[in-house]
Amino acid sequence: MSFLQKLKNKFKQDNQEEVSAKYKEGMEKTRKSFSGRINDLIARYRKVDEDFFEELEEVLISADVGVTTVMELIDELRFEVQRRNIKDTKEVREVISEKLVDIYYGDDNEVIETLHLLENGLSVILVVGVNGVGKTTTIGKLAHRLKGEGKTVMLAAGDTFRAGAIEQLEVWGERAGVEVIKQNEGSDPAAVIFDAIKAAKSRNVDVLLCDTAGRLQNKVNLMNELEKVKRVIEREIPGAPHEVLLVLDATTGQNALTQAKTFSKATNVSGIVLTKLDGTAKGGIVLAIRNELNIPVKFVGLGEKSEDLQTFDANAFVYGLFADMIEDAAELEQ
């Protein structure tokens, strides 16, 4: 049985067909671009040779998989093709899908994708990212998700610089049915977070989600402000924040990778939330971020609804990339 078929069966056995369907639907743009070009490549080459690998390299780079990751992937593909004595280019598809999952996880497993929350006591999640990536929306969706899991949630309106940011967070708070701790626009963000921690402790809240200003990564003073917020959290709750989630817009491709590098220096980012994955043909950025920065993607945005914020799963991601090929193969077998 092929690796891709095993993936499909895995979702069936684990009763996760709804998850695989969401990835299939949400990654349509990336899949059409990526799979379409790979199919075209396979149709043009009958044997696996150096020219084939060079063109495959270009296809992967155009999907924003990242040059470093692509070089590593191509090296592994060459090795596997030789080891398995693969001659037919059609068989390379299977090896690509296998290696994409291997490269994502490395020596880790699926546990890297789960949020690290305390069993007892207050867990603090700091959410960072530049303006326009969907940070406030992500916080609202995450609050909705955590509340659905039975947790009590509170929001801290730490983005006091952007006009309308506090009101926007309040709207999401109302939708999710959670309290929002705020001060006036222009207030010290660290003071807002301090108040929110005190309030969350007094109300025995499980999770405090902290919004922050949409920092432009080239403004050093804004990065310093972010570090100050982090210090306040650490002082009030030793070991916190328990997660620092960086929200990135998948449609920005390599620019998202640059942002990830800068923010990870300032805040020890523990996970990525990749929004608008459904709106881009450059979904390969997921692999570049994970492989080059060793930061796991924890959530991906696959649509507008609250439930479209999905826990990231590299197996489901690869399924989303190759879903059409899997369906075609299944039809041929029948």
Q: pLDDT tens-digit profile of 104-146?
A: 888 777 778 889 999 999 999 999 998 889 999 999 999 999 9
Q: Which residues make Cβ contacts (< 8 Å) with residue 191, sequence separation at least 6?
A: 183
Domains 3-110+318-333 and 115-314 share a fold: no
CB atoms within 10 A of CB 116: 14
More confident residue, 287 or 3: 287
135 is in an annotated binding site: yes
Strands 207-210 vs 153-156: parallel, antiparallel or unpaired: parallel
- Give tens-digit pLDDT for 280-306: 888 888 888 888 888 999 999 998 888
133 is in an annotated binding site: yes
69 is in an annotated binding site: no
Domain residue spans of the chain: 3-110+318-333, 115-314
Query: In the predicted model, is pLDDT for residue 33 greater than 90?
Result: no
CA distance 303 to 294: 26
141 is in an annotated binding site: no
130 is in an annotated binding site: yes
CA distance 188 to 96: 49
Check: CB of residue 211 under 8 Å from CB of residue 158: yes
277 is in an annotated binding site: yes
65 is in an annotated binding site: no
CATH topology of domain 115-314: Rossmann fold (3.40.50)
- Give tens-digit pLDDT for 219-248: 657 788 888 999 999 999 999 999 999 999
68 is in an annotated binding site: no
32 is in an annotated binding site: no
| Closest to 153 in 3D by CA, of 233, 113, 210 | 210
134 is in an annotated binding site: yes
Query: In the predicted model, is pLDDT for residue 328 greater than 80?
Result: no
Check: CB of residue 104 under 8 Å from CB of residue 194: no
> Domain 3-110+318-333 sits in which CATH superfamily?
SRP54, nucleotide-binding domain (1.20.120.140)
Query: In the predicted model, is pLDDT for residue 78 greater than 80?
Result: yes
User: Which pLDDT band, with edges at 50, 70 and 90, does 80 fall under?
Assistant: very high
Query: In the predicted model, is pLDDT for residue 177 greater than 80?
Result: yes
